[in-house]
Amino acid sequence: MVVDAKTGAVIHEENADTRLHPASLTKMMTLYIAFQAIQRGEISLDSEIAIPAYAAAQPPSKLGLRTGQKIKFRYLLRAAAVKSANDAASSIGFAISGSEEAFAKRMNATAQAMGMRNTTFVNQHGLTHPNHLSSARDMTVLGRHMIYDFPQYYNLFSRRSADAGMKQVNNTNRRFLDAYKGADGIKTGFTNAAGYNLVASAQRGDRRIIATVFGGTSTANRNAQVMKLLDKGFASQPGQAAPAQAPALVAATPALGPTSGAHTIRVTGVVRRSLRPQQRPGTAADAPVLVATASGIEDALAAALLVSSSPSATTQPEPAPARVSVAAAIAPAAPVTELSDMAPATAELFAEAGITPETTPEARPTEMIMTAAAIAPVDASRMQAVPEVVTRVSTSGGRLWGINVGRYNSRGSAERILIQTALNEPGALDGALRRVTQRAGGYDANFMGLTNEAADLACRRLQARGAMCFMIGPS
């Protein structure tokens, strides 16, 4: 299969929806979720990971991890992306979700949110399992998301070698990277059942092409097929191919910084214009003194949060590719000239990726939005109880239930998610009270004061959107 990366236009396809064994192409999803977990504050690049026995026991290709050994998360990422190490991939899943099964559920939820209709994941590494299947189209979709959703990490796939903590590891795709002009990633895969698979991307000038091959008979055969497909892509005229169907994806919410305290904000409807009053005639000295009431502040804050995420409130983006629909836009920040000017988390991402401050990552196509469906419910038994802030919850009329819509790395992030969710589902969450609960791993965003039926309906509606949700029963 061949697509234009920016537009998603299909240039060539053959048996693109046939379900086959993806082998280590699976690790693209494992790494995608890992990058998303870092972005959300679930884990950091420097988190020390204790290697479980089942990960250490995985067959080659492997890094050689030992049971109980501790290693930084960044080295597991490098080993999985560059060497395609099965033990590293398994350890990534365990570190994020606690088990292979739980991580596989998160992989499948993310795949569904991306529109990968022919994919079911069973493990993190891609070793053969009868129910672990995908297609060339789905893996192309995943590769495109990897390139545009996490440009700060994409360079991992172009490294010929990398320091994986224990040893220096070589890239399984280095022959192709060295042989094809403009090639810069992304992932190989091989098992006896799958054959030789490859999702590859190359850029020449301002045009990027992605090609995917399943079932090659050898590394050389696979690479030759991919080169022919990429040549076909670059030889085509942009805009001549029919655009592929764009899956309906859910926009991920940027994390906010910590706030000074909790606030209850009652949103009664969608705000469609700024609440700022028109300036009155006369000089500034003649202007009346305005008194802000508590309710006015709350309404203004709710409006500001909504307007801040609206395309009309941002500066105009760069010209988008033809035939795309913009679901969300975020105003570009002022140029950063030094890493010290960045927030710590941002500086860490740039340092890991080897991007200098003046380097601008490749812009994501405007119709392509990062999925937020990859956060799986956290097992309550793994949470540590700590003091929590509770917003008034009514216990009358059987309204003893609630729902959880995610755990976030700051109170501000959790509060913003609650407001946006209330705006998206005003009917299902009518009368619910927002509640931010601080726990050892972050801040839980909950809606409380619901009946059993209302909580079930709200979760089903949110999950249908691809959002994370699980019910909270009476305590």
d(CA 151, CA 167): 25
135 is catalytic: no
Interior angle at CA 324, CA 320 and CA 327, nearest 5: 95
Give the whole-angstrom CA distance, residue 24 versus residue 18.
Answer: 17
Based on the residue annotation, tell me whether 381 is a catalytic residue of this protein.
no
Q: How many residues does the chain have?
A: 475
Q: Give the separation between CA 404 and CA 417, rounded to whole angstroms.
A: 11
Q: Which of these is catalytic: 27, 62, 83, 187?
A: 27
Q: Which of 375, 324, 250 is nearest to 4 (CA)?
A: 324
Per the residue annotation, which of 84, 90, 135, 309 is the catalytic one? 84
Query: Over the Cα atoms of the chain, what is R_g?
Result: 24
Give phi and psi for 129, each to the nearest 5.
Answer: -145, 140
Q: Cβ(441)–Cβ(407) under 8 Å?
A: yes
| 6, 24, 134, 135: the active-site residue | 24
DSSP 400-418: -EEEEEEEESSHHHHHHHH
Rounded CA separation 467/367 (Å): 19
In a 10 Å sphere around its CB, with 0-12 CB exposed, 13-18 middle and 19+ buried, how is residue 192 labelled? exposed
* Whether residue 84 has a cis bond before it, omega within 30° of 0: no
Is 24 catalytic? The answer is yes
Instruction: Give the residue from 118, 74, 99, 88 showing the smallest Cα distance to 24.
Output: 88
Q: What is the 8-class DSSP label of residue 82? A: I
Query: Does the CA dihedral 309-311-312-313 come out positive or negative?
Result: positive
Q: Which residues are catalytic?
A: 24, 27, 84
